[in-house]
Amino acid sequence: MLNLPPRISDSLLLLIDAQRFLAHMSIDGSQRLVQIGGHLEHYGLIGLQPGDLASDPLPLLEGLLPLAETPFLIRSMEMPSKRIADVHFFADDDETVWVLLLDVTAEYEETRLVQQKAYDMTLLSQREARLIAQLEAANQELTRAHDALAASREALQLTHDRLQQELRDAERYVRAILPAPLEGPIAIDWRFVPTTELGGDSFGYHWVDEAHFAIYLIDVCGHGVGSALLSVAVADTLRSQALSNTDFRQPAEVLSALNLAYQMESHGELFSTVWYGVYQRATGQLRYASAGHPPALLVSGTGKGPGNAEPLPAGGPCIGISPAVRYQEAQCVLQSPARLFVFSDGTYEITRTDGSMLEFEDLAAALSRPVADGRSELDDLLEYARETHGPGALEDDFTIIKMAL
């Protein structure tokens, strides 16, 4: 072997045997096994005996023997054990054919992963090319529009005024479809302050039936028209109970159906967080589920004195990330007097003037404080947020709902 001393050749053979799970068999002119050995069981070739027809365990041999050329190699064949092997053929002068199996599973998997990566990169490049083409087309359109508007200062101002009016109309429309506060055994109040004319938050509450009351809040990523439209659409879907084959008294079932209906690939790459709860008036039971949303806060008492704030944790991924996810619900009992607060993260993720940020615990502490006569803890919280932030608009939409029992 390569004119090497037997000791070295034997060591190399042992190394190959250990690393490649060498197996062999010899086949006579009648295509029957003469000798077998090595790690045949590694390849799923179990129970072979001399005299067996060679093509029974290895159908690839049928029609291949006798060899047209020797030596001969078939690369990366899948064996009965699902291992991948290079199959080497060598013919002796007496028409005996030797078949050697060498395990190449690791190299095969590495090659497959490289090919998959190349394929993924190709898809990514194609998608990038499409996005670039869309951006270029959009840029060209914007350039033409800008040139046309720049041709007349008066026309530019008129267009600006018209767009501002449309945004104000859209803002009024979004506010108009928000539910009115409620009074009675179940009292609902809320504050909604978008960071721009159109934010990504929306919410609602309604009686599912005579016994069950639903309350929910949606926070779509981003701001502007796209986020606002999607947020309103999701809220309308919940309000109108427009998810087929869905029991709207079951929060986890509602979020699972909502997730299937609003995958981000079909909605401008936008995803959303949602908190959805159902209160059963007769028992006081609240069942709720969350899709990436901050936990609600349950605060004891009426607000005339200090209260105890209890977070209601519930985990689940955002709506639109993956169609395969399922949601779990949690439950608790609301004992009157108590207040349930459902809110978006913009209610407490507020940057102080020194650059630090409020935390969830600060919100819980603020809502636990006594409320002065004639005041609302929602107004106090909004005032606290604005004082903490300082001049200018808040970074994110400030949305909070209070359900008092």
Does the pLDDT of residue 199 top 60, yes or no? yes
Please report the pLDDT score of residue 170 as a whole number: 59
Average pLDDT, the chain: 88
Give the C-alpha separation, 58 to 77, whole Å. Answer: 11
Higher confidence at residue 173 or residue 287?
287
Higher confidence at residue 207 or residue 148?
207
Q: What is the pTM of this model?
A: 0.60
Query: Any idea which of 57-71, 74-88, 306-320 has the lowest mean pLDDT?
Result: 57-71
Please report the pLDDT score of residue 67 as a whole number: 82
Does the pLDDT of residue 171 top 80, yes or no? no
Strands (E), 175-302: 187-193, 201-207, 212-220, 272-280, 285-291, 296-300
- CA distances 161 to 153, 168, 170, 197, 214, Å, are 12, 11, 14, 14, 40
Average of per-residue pLDDT across 110-118: 87
Give the C-alpha separation, 189 to 145, whole Å. Answer: 44
Query: Any idea which of 48-57, 200-209, 326-335 has the lowest mean pLDDT?
Result: 48-57
Tell me the sheet residues that pair with 286.
279, 332
Give the C-alpha separation, 364 to 168, whole Å. Answer: 33
Average of per-residue pLDDT across 66-76: 85
Sheet harboring 212-220: ordered strands across? 201-207, 212-220, 272-280, 285-291, 330-333
Of 330, 265, 264, 338, the C-alpha closest to 298 is: 338
Does the pLDDT of residue 205 top 90, yes or no? yes
Higher confidence at residue 185 or residue 175?
185
Q: Describe the crossing of helices 251-261 and 225-239 by its angle, rounded to 10 degrees.
A: 140
Query: Any idea which of 146-155, 247-256, 335-344, 389-398 has the lowest mean pLDDT?
Result: 146-155
Does the pLDDT of residue 177 top 70, yes or no? yes
Q: What's the angle, vertex CA 293, arms to CA 228 and CA 344, rounded to 5?
A: 55
3-state SS class at 42: helix
Higher confidence at residue 156 or residue 331?
331
Q: How many residues does the chain have?
A: 405
Average of per-residue pLDDT across 311-335: 94
Q: What are the pLDDT digits (tens) for 6-53?
A: 887 777 778 787 788 999 988 888 888 989 988 999 988 888 899 899
Query: Any idea which of 81-90, 112-121, 262-271, 337-346 has the lowest mean pLDDT?
Result: 112-121
Query: Any idea which of 26-35, 118-127, 234-243 has the lowest mean pLDDT?
Result: 118-127
Residue holding tokens 């029991």? 247
Please report the pLDDT score of residue 162 as a whole number: 66
- Which of 41-45, 87-91, 107-111, 276-280 ranks highest by mean pLDDT? 276-280
Please report the pLDDT score of residue 62 as a whole number: 78
Phi-psi map region of 389: left, alpha, beta (phi>0 left; psi -120 to 50 alpha): alpha
Please report the pLDDT score of residue 166 as a whole number: 54
- At 264, the amino acid letter reads M
Does the pLDDT of residue 108 top 80, yes or no? yes
Does the pLDDT of residue 214 top 80, yes or no? yes
Instruction: Place 218 in a pLDDT band, splitting at 50, 70 and 90.
Output: very high
Does the pLDDT of residue 337 top 90, yes or no? yes
Q: Describe the crossing of helices 153-176 and 105-150 by its angle, rounded to 10 degrees.
A: 120
Question: Domains plus CATH for the chain?
Answer: 6-103 (3.30.450.20), 179-404 (3.60.40.10)
Give the C-alpha separation, 18 to 6, whole Å. Answer: 18
Please report the pLDDT score of residue 30 as a whole number: 86
Please report the pLDDT score of residue 225 as a whole number: 83
Higher confidence at residue 163 or residue 246?
246
Please report the pLDDT score of residue 346 as a whole number: 92
Q: What is the CA 63 to chain-centroid distance, rounded?
A: 51
Tokens of 278: 């159902």
Does the pLDDT of residue 240 top 90, yes or no? yes
Please report the pLDDT score of residue 196 as a whole number: 72
Does the pLDDT of residue 318 top 80, yes or no? yes
Of 1, 27, 15, 2, the C-alpha closest to 89 is: 27
Please report the pLDDT score of residue 157 as a whole number: 67
Does the pLDDT of residue 365 top 60, yes or no? yes
Tokens of 57: 């365990």
The enclosing H or E element of 396 equals none
Tell me the sheet residues that pair with 85.
77, 103
Does the pLDDT of residue 59 top 90, yes or no? no
Does the pLDDT of residue 161 top 70, yes or no? no
